[in-house]
Amino acid sequence: MRPDQPLTRSSLDPATLLEVPASAQAAEALQRRWAGQVLASDDLGPVTTVAGVDVAYHESSGELVAAAVLLDAPSLTVLEEVTLRDHARFPYVPGLFSFRECPPVARAVQGLSRRPDLIVCDGHGVAHPRRFGLACHLGLALNIPTIGCGKTRLTGEDTVPGLPRGEWTPLLDGPEVLGAALRTQSGVRPVYVSVGHRVSLPTALAWVLRLSPRYRLPETTRAADRLVRRALAEVSHA
DNA sequence: GCGACAG
DNA sequence: ATCTTGTCGC
């Protein structure tokens, strides 16, 4: 017996994770089921490339624009960019965010010529009401280590971390640690970091800090945001 | 009933 | 998310 290996792991079909639920109730049931598959410990090799992902909504056409950017890990240089257009299959509902973003974002990542060693998501991981935010969903769908990095809190209680860069406080739901409020720039509002998949919280904190040497948000998030904005503007002009 | 509510 | 003015702190 190998009690350290979940027996249900082989039953997880990546395509199933990108299906569109028929209702919010069905979506929540899927989240509760999938949350048990999230690996909150380090299962990643040498990180040479880090990807950032983002989505924007084009209101007049009802289309989504998804972007994936691949960065070189030590230099934070942009190596590759992918954008694509897709239709929205699910409305934006707080707590069910990933059912809207995951399908196009997963395709954008698969459009890269290399699989990233790590992905930083613009949204939470396990810092979620059912412990299954976008970062968990994407990490499981692609079986790639992911980190959740949100600009604002969705759930949990946090205290204000110290002002110097690198200070952090736990994001708590009672005794349970959901993530952390991390000060990426001295005196600037913290970001919310949580485990996505196959990454521990200390590793996630270290990476988000490393990826944010100059600005509040990680360079992965900034690069993906720039790209998706540019692509959205091109859709509007057409 | 009221507030809170990733993007 | 997006839009936008005024205010505060360093």
The CA distance from A219 to A162, in Å, is: 23
Q: Report the CATH number of the A46-237 domain.
A: 3.30.2170.10
Pick from A166, A196, A203: nearest CA to A181: A166
- Residue A13, annotated as binding a ligand: no
* Residue A43 assigned to a binding site: no
Query: Does the pLDDT of residue A195 top 90, yes or no?
Result: yes
Domain definitions of chain A by residue range: 46-237
Residue A82 has pLDDT above 80, yes or no: yes
A46 alpha-carbon distance from chain centroid: 20
**Does residue A227 lie within 7 Å of nucleic acid chain C, judged by its CB?**
no
CA-to-C1' span, A91 to B7 (A) = 11
Q: How far is the CA of A153 from the C1' of B5 (A)?
A: 9
Percent of chain A whose predicted confidence (pLDDT) is above 90: 89
Confidence of residue A3 (pLDDT cuts 50, 70, 90): very low
pLDDT digits (tens, 9 = 90+) for A33-70: 999 999 999 999 999 999 999 999 988 888 999 999 99
Cα A236 from Cα A216, distance rounded (Å)? 29
